[in-house]
Amino acid sequence: MPNVAKNITQIGPPEQDLSPKPDEKPWLRQKHEPAAWYMRFKRYLDMGPKRSLRKALADEPGTQKATKSTKKLSDVSVPGAWKRASRGL
């Protein structure tokens, strides 16, 4: 059995290489990327080093009215689609 263990290098699906290629510019709108998501990314990027998904969501034009009644930013709930998009999935 020890020989079998030496031959197994990976269990499960192969790892994804998410690192940008040398000629790619990830800060530009990607092929097939919806304009709304690209604009969200740009607003998020412009927030600087203290940015957060909650702040980006609170600054979203369509949600500003809904979040004005919310007193704390911690009360803003980030939807799953935003979380997935932030991870690049």
The whole domain housing 50 covers 32-58
Neighbours of 32 (CB within 10 A): 5
- Residue pair 67/58 in contact by the 8 Å Cβ criterion: yes
Residue 4: exposure state from Cβ atoms within 10 A (0-12, 13-18, ≥19): exposed
Amino acid 82: pLDDT: 87
For residue 48, being part of any structural domain is answered with yes
For residue 15, being part of any structural domain is answered with no
State pLDDT tens for residues 54-79: 988 888 887 655 555 555 777 788 88
For residue 24, being part of any structural domain is answered with no
How many domains is the chain built from? 1
Question: Does the structure show a pLDDT above 80 at 86?
Answer: yes
State pLDDT tens for residues 12-51: 666 766 666 666 788 889 888 899 999 999 999 999 999 9
For residue 26, being part of any structural domain is answered with no
Predicted TM-score (pTM) of this structure: 0.60
For residue 39, being part of any structural domain is answered with yes
For residue 41, being part of any structural domain is answered with yes
For residue 74, being part of any structural domain is answered with no
State pLDDT tens for residues 1-12: 556 555 556 566
Amino acid 73: pLDDT: 77
CA-wise closest residue to 52 among 29, 72, 78: 78
